[in-house]
């Protein structure tokens, strides 16, 4: 099938997003700072960087933001904050491989959220595919040898649900708002939410190790400013399912490979075993969802 140049460009931007987001888990591990602290400064760096870009562009990216779009952008920011808070915390309790494999079950949750939030129809068999993916999560968590590992796996699972919610809401917003205008509001809201969260739980925001800052700033500029912003750009051209699937395949491979090379952390046999039904379940879910879309169009 012939693809237009614009569509090919969109695909390459999505690939670049995967390469930018993939190192996030390793960068967070290297930062060696409290999870809420890392999440807050990561989003603050991203929000400031996007604000500078929007200002240089004369603020035109904020034009056309009506009340409904603004509210949805704020909601997306809160969901993003919870995603980062739970997922980054999971890395303190479980392996990079476990955490990334579980957090990238986002297409499954996006399918369920599509039924509930967007009133989309999905094939009845999709629920079997979802159950298969969740069985993979259970295998990974059940075989987790680390102390507190199951808590980490649960936090990664919550992070996956929040990320899927963020993508579904963002899909709605991106049909009416520019990428930079949307992410400026979402990232700023996420930073504010994480800052308030940190104050409530009394996480330290000062006196961090000097060695932590380069990794935190890198996580803000690479995975967030480049990676997540391009993911949100992709929501204009691709469904939340398609974007989430790209995250599933690409981010898992990049993060696991980097964890092996940089941290010397190899996935356990249970992680590899559990990844199989997760991959099958997610791909099955997407194929059924695509079949439903084609049926609706005829």
pLDDT range class, residue 297, cuts 50, 70, 90: low
Q: pTM of this prediction? A: 0.77
Q: How far is 69 from 71, CA to CA, in rounded Å?
A: 5
Residue 298: is its pLDDT beyond 60? no
Q: How far is CA 58 from the centre of its chain?
A: 29
Q: How many CA atoms lie within 13 A of 210 on its CB side?
A: 0
Q: How many domains does the chain have?
A: 1
Is the residue at 9 inside a domain? no
Q: How far is 100 from 167, CA to CA, in rounded Å?
A: 17
Is the residue at 85 inside a domain? yes
In this structure, the number of other CB atoms found within 10 A of the CB of residue 65 comes to: 18
Is the residue at 13 inside a domain? no
Is the residue at 1 inside a domain? no
Is the residue at 62 inside a domain? yes
Q: How far is 49 from 71, CA to CA, in rounded Å?
A: 22
Structure tokens at 252: 């898992």
pLDDT digit string, tens, across residues 26-52? 898 899 888 899 999 999 999 999 999
Domain coverage including residue 292: 20-297
In this structure, the number of other CB atoms found within 10 A of the CB of residue 290 comes to: 13
Q: How far is 221 from 49, CA to CA, in rounded Å?
A: 8
Please indicate whether residue 294 or residue 167 has the higher confidence score (pLDDT). Answer: 167
Of 158, 154, 138, 130, nearest to 270 by C-alpha is 138
Is the residue at 8 inside a domain? no
pLDDT digit string, tens, across residues 115-132? 767 666 666 676 777 677
Structure tokens at 260: 């092996």
pLDDT range class, residue 111, cuts 50, 70, 90: confident
Task: Count Cβ atoms within 10 A of the Cβ of residue 262 and give its class: 0-12 exposed, 13-18 middle, 19 or more buried.
Answer: middle
């Amino acid at each position: 099938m012939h693809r237009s140049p614009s569509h090919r460009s969109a695909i390459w931007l999505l690939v670049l997003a995967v390469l930018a987001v993939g190192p996030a888990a390793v960068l967070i591990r290297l930062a060696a700072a409290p999870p809420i602290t890392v999440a807050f400064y990561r989003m603050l760096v991203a929000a400031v960087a996007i604000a500078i870009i929007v200002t240089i562009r004369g603020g035109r990216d904020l034009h056309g933001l009506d009340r409904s779009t603004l509210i949805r952008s704020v909601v997306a920011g809160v969901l993003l904050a919870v995603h980062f808070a739970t997922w980054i915390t999971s890395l303190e309790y479980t392996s990079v491989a476990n955490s990334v494999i579980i957090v990238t079950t986002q297409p499954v949750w996006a399918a369920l959220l599509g039924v509930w939030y967007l009133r989309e129809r999905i094939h009845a068999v999709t629920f079997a595919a979802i159950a298969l993916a969740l069985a993979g999560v259970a295998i990974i968590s059940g075989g987790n040898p680390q102390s507190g590992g199951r808590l980490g796996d649960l936090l990664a699972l919550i992070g996956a649900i929040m990320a899927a919610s963020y993508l579904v809401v963002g899909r709605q917003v991106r049909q009416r708002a520019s990428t930079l205008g949307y992410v400026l509001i979402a990232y700023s809201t996420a930073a504010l939410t994480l800052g308030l969260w940190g104050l409530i739980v009394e996480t330290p925001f000062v006196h961090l190790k000097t060695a932590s800052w380069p990794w935190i700033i890198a996580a803000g500029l690479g995975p967030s400013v480049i990676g997540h912003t391009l993911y949100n750009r992709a929501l204009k051209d691709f469904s939340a399912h398609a974007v989430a699937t790209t995250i599933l395949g690409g981010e898992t491979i990049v993060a696991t490979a980097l964890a092996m090379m940089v941290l010397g952390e190899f996935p356990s046999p249970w992680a590899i075993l559990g990844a199989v039904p997760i991959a099958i379940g997610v791909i099955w879910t997407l194929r059924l969802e695509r079949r439903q879309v084609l049926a609706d169009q005829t």
